[in-house]
Structure 1
Amino acid sequence: MPGSGPTLEFSVAPARIGELTDLMRTAWWMSDRTPRDVAGLLEHSDLVITVTRRDTLVGFARVLTDYAYVALVLDVIVDESQRGSGVGAVLLDAVVNHPELTGVRSLELVCQPDLVPFYRRWGFTDAVGGSRLMRRSTDERLVTRPLAEP
């Protein structure tokens, strides 16, 4: 069917902020985001990537970076109905192959343990030397949540 394949974009139209907010709310760590929050994070992100299918937003990721040493990949999400369909791969390909990120020394992200094999396909590793993730947060969900979702 023509037009059924994924479409990649590097921006979010203001009219889609509600749709993006709804998609984000399906993930436990983003469940309380509001359209105003989402508009703010879009404004302050260095790169945003969306995937649509049949004009429906089905995937999103964003990046914060200094364009030289580190790029932090955040809020990677795929609509539950599209998981396993290649949307996540489209997002990650767009991130790791983005021309503004190809010279960045280190691409980093945080993920749940069950997604480690997925991210390994793009060369991400949990072997980070002696480094350890530390967090200071006012959001209790981010420091007390079990390792895997129920």
Structure 2
Amino acid sequence: MIHITTDPFPDDAAMARLWQASWGDAGPLSFQPILQRSLGHVGAYDGKTLIGFVNVAWDGGIHAFILDTCVDKAYQRRGLAIRLVRQAASLAKARGAHWLHVDFEPRLEPFYRKCGFRPTTAGLMRLA
């Protein structure tokens, strides 16, 4: 049975397994510093296995940011990512954010529109 939980603080092994299953690489060496600085995060579990994740970063004020939306490929196309993002939005609002931002590749625009985001103009500068 799949359940969604707020601030689950998964260990690095669980996050690396999910990252590999979602993105094809292991991701950061440790996710713990990221989780500790977040406004919050949301995880989806099938039993005890982490199968989905969304991080909510913030500026310390009223702006929050969706990062690292991922779902294990075996669980994709079931609406789970939309549920995760919507739960993350509710969490951000409950914790005082007034605005929720997300950046994404053009191919993901239909997904984020389904989640409730509307298009805006933004800028991006590559630093590395």
TM range (shorter): 0.7 to 0.9
1:59 to 52, 61, 77: 52
CA distance in 2, matches of 1:48, 1:75: 10
Higher strand share: 2
Gaps of 5+ in 1: 138-150
Count of residue pairs the alignment pairs up: 126
Percent identity over paired residues: 24
CA contact (8 A) 1:17 1:38 kept: yes
- Does 2:4 align with 1:11? no
TM-score (norm 1): 0.72
- Does 2:9 align with 1:24? no
Gaps of 5+ in 2: none
CA distance in 2, matches of 1:112, 1:56: 28
Higher-RCO chain (CA-CA 8 Å, sequence separation at least 6):
2
> What is the DSSP-based 3-state SS (H/G/I as helix, E as strand, rest coil) of the residue aligned with 1:97?
helix
**Letter in structure 2 aligned against 1:19:** A
- The root-mean-square deviation of aligned C-alpha atoms, in Å, is 2.2
Task: Indicate the residue corresponding to 1:142 in structure 2.
Answer: none
- Does 2:34 align with 1:44? no
> What is the DSSP-based 3-state SS (H/G/I as helix, E as strand, rest coil) of the residue aligned with 1:101?
helix
- Does 2:69 align with 1:76? yes
TM-score (norm 2): 0.82
Q: 1:32 to 1:61 in 2, by over 3 A?
A: closer
CA contact (8 A) 1:96 1:122 kept: no
Q: 1:58 to 1:127 in 2, by over 3 A?
A: same
